Amino acid sequence: MIPTPPLHPFGSPEAHAAEAIARTLARHPRPLGGDPVKSLPLPLLSLSAQILNNASGQDTLAVKRKPPWLKAKVPGGPGYERLKAIMDEHQLHTVCQEAACPNMGECWARGVATIMILGDTCTRACGFCNVKTGRPTSLDKDEPRRVAESLRLMDLKHVVITSVNRDELRDGGAGIWAETIVRSMDACPKMSIEVLIPDFMGDWPALQMVIDAKPHIINHNLETIRRMYPAVRPSAKFDRSLELLRRVKEAGTVAKTGIMVGIGERDDEVLELIDDLLASTKAAPGSNDACDILTIGQYLQPTRNHLPVDRFVTPERFAIFKTEGLTRGLKVVESGPLVRSSYHADHQADGLTDILSLRR
């Protein structure tokens, strides 16, 4: 009998899982942010023993078993290893690694990556996010130059640039954002650039700095439905995020957003969000030109300090969300269990921007 080859040329899935856990613990030496009840006083009466899966004697919430459609390939291959080496050498943070994205191997091998600027410490504590929280100690003003040089070496087709929230900065980091975009476009004129930006606390002049730098796509994720904001995004406002997307469309830029499902919303609330999104982000009164792209993916709980998974949405339900989004007027809808913000982002840029003419 011919022995079965290993699933991955760079090690077993178990080894990669252990390495991922070690990276997470190294990034988060203290409890992660995202616990929406950590500041509340202890209850006078606890019913933990009645509602928790404590058969082993430990009061821990039962972890839902993942369905078979939520399996992703272990990242690897020459393209992946080349990009990883460059990122490590230039001390760049990637949301692919920080957020444990299941599509990292596929995207990196195809020449698409998502890098994270403004450090790796976020000033907010969202209930779903695996990026560490706290007060950043410094601002790296040389980061735009290093990012642009690294992107030139990577020779990417498309890059997604995102960042942590830097609410302690007067401009929320918008100056670094703008310089990073301009330098990257100068260094890589044939590469499409998508930015996944924070809300800048509603500082619209700060947002305008990013718009004026002229990235190909501006993305700002709503993350969840309006009702879930207090638990999922306690420091954000649903209407403020809609206003940001409206201003992006008003400026004539391709606008994109994304949400997670399975975190506590109902199906009808997802459809209501799509209607809200299209109605609230129109470039002008009476116009049909509203937010262009929506991504919808399954929420996966990063650690036990984060919000639990409420349900696993089936691939069939994701297909319905996509059909409904396109029928209602969105230009592109990426909807599936493993879809994340940057999934197929290069194809979106090819279809909705002028980047193909610049590559000729």
Structure-token pair, residue 18 = 């252990």
35, two tokens: 């616990």
Confidence tier at 225 by pLDDT (50, 70, 90): very high
Query: Of residues 265 and 28, which shows the higher confidence score?
Result: 265
pLDDT of residue 185: 97
Q: What is the pTM of this model?
A: 0.79
Range list of H helices, the chain: 13-27, 48-51, 78-89, 95-98, 104-109, 143-154, 174-187, 204-212, 229-232, 238-250, 267-280, 315-328, 345-352, 355-358
- Cα separation, 53 vs 59, in Å, equals 7
Number of H helices, E strands in the chain: 14, 8
Pick from 152, 203, 214, 219: which is nearest to 179 by CA? Answer: 214
- Write the DSSP assignment of 336-347 as a string of letters: STT--TTTTHHH
Please determine, for residue 118, whether its predicted confidence score (pLDDT) is greater than 70. Answer: yes
pLDDT tens figures, 273-322: 999 999 999 999 888 899 999 999 999 988 888 889 999 999 999 999 99
Higher pLDDT, 189 or 62: 189
